[in-house]
Amino acid sequence: MPAIRFSDLTLGYDRHPAVHHLCGEIAPGSLTAIVGPNGAGKSTLLKAIAGALSPLDGTVTLAKGKRLAYLPQSAELDRSFPIHVYDLVAMGLWGAAGIFGKIGLGQRSKIEAAIAAVGLTGFESRSIGTLSGGQMQRALFARLLLQDADIILLDEPFTAIDARTSADLLALVQRWHGENRTVVAVLHDIETVKRAFPQTLLLAREAIAWGETGEVLTANNLLKARRMVEAFDSHAAPCAA
């Protein structure tokens, strides 16, 4: 049973497709990068997997009984919300304890361990509005640690953060992979993908190539993806899916 299956999946807005007739499977325990030019539909696809966007046609199916965690782009997060780092991280326990569930000693130790794992010990009482971009991303990864999900979706997790933070968070991603969790990440840095992600989906509103990273990220495939996105006509007729 695949962790995620796409069956003739078409996604978009007002029937203009952002992702067009996608078919394929993501294996359980795999580490997959989704890459492509701006406007290729990468974030749209992640939203559909997370259940935040309904398909225009086709289906996206998750393996039964698997828990999912989703980290959207940092630009989509409201950092003006008055919450401290500790409470933000503790939200990762909501799936187990409920929104109004009491946090016991055992859970407190899990929260503290997650904060320590991302290098934020001492920041527990800091408002998230005072954090740098890298510190905020560390806090969000700590929350993901507590969610203990089988499938983890990351939308541009290393964008606009410093090199050390990127390296530390990438180490967590590889740790999840080692624990046989399914990780899917939208990324822009091709060198990071080549170095750390065994599987890649090259997307340009449709799948240009999908499989082992070295076979997908060829010069010809990357050129085809760029040309496909550049050829998109926003005034074209709606998708006839």
Q: How confident is the model at residue 78 (pLDDT cuts 50, 70, 90)?
A: confident
pTM for the model: 0.92
**Largest CA-CA distance found in the chain, in angstroms, rounded:** 58
Structure-token pair, residue 214? 């070295």
Looking at the predicted structure, is the pLDDT value of residue 15 above 70?
no
Looking at the predicted structure, is the pLDDT value of residue 34 above 90?
yes
Looking at the predicted structure, is the pLDDT value of residue 96 above 70?
no
Q: Three-state SS for 93?
A: helix
CB 69 within 8 Å of CB 121: no
Q: Which of 168, 197, 226, 185 is nearest to 69 (CA)?
A: 185
CB atoms within 10 A of CB 79: 13
Q: How many angstroms separate the first and last alpha carbons of the chain?
A: 26
Mean of the pLDDT values across residues 204-232? 94
Mean of the pLDDT values across residues 153-159? 96
